[in-house]
Amino acid sequence: MAWASPLYTKGAVDRAGAAFIDPTTSAEDRELALVVINNWRSCHGFPLNTFQMNLRKRAGKITADALIAQRTKRLSSIEAKLRNYPKMPLSTMQDIGGCRAVLPSVEHVYSVSDLFLETRTKHTFVKVDDYLAKPKTSGYRGVHLVYRYHSDRKQTYNSLKIELQIRS
């Protein structure tokens, strides 16, 4: 399988995101923006797969009952997020690529999260959002870890953000 590579600068990605939600954008310019956005989404595939394999391995050390999934954010979800946060540049969106572990208990969630937080890695840790300690207003509970991908061999993907969602 050939992995997509970034074809556009982050500036071009940000301009495409802005054009995509601008109601005055022409149909032709919107189509061009979609090409850029879809390339940006596709580029997260390789780093996402790397983190999904790591999540599967680490969750497996804690419990055999982990359910692991990965996804690239849908275009409609990207559009909604850009509309809700109009000052957010698309290139800084942390969850274009995301993977999730659904675990049997809160204790398992913290154990898997701790494995990530305590392990040295070349990937750059960005932040943790602990929605177990402070649940979202919707009631959602889980731990989100955000990393910037880094590799000496696959440098084309360096700095792409991947979000790990760990929940019970």
Q: What are phi and psi of 43, to 5 degrees?
A: -65, -20
pTM of this structure: 0.93
> Tens digits of per-residue pLDDT, 48-99?
999 999 999 999 999 999 999 999 999 999 999 999 999 999 999 999 999 9
Q: What are phi and psi for residue 144, nearest 5 degrees? A: -110, 130
Provide CB contacts within 8 A for 46, sequence distance 6+. 3, 4, 154, 157
Stretch among 64-73, 102-111, 114-123 having the lowest mean pLDDT: 114-123
Give residue for tokens 């070349």. Answer: 122
Give the burial class of 136: count Cβ atoms within 10 A of its Cβ; 0-12 exposed, 13-18 middle, 19 or more buried: exposed
Mean pLDDT, the chain, rounded, equals 96
What phi and psi values does residue 71 have, to the nearest 5 degrees?
A: -160, 155
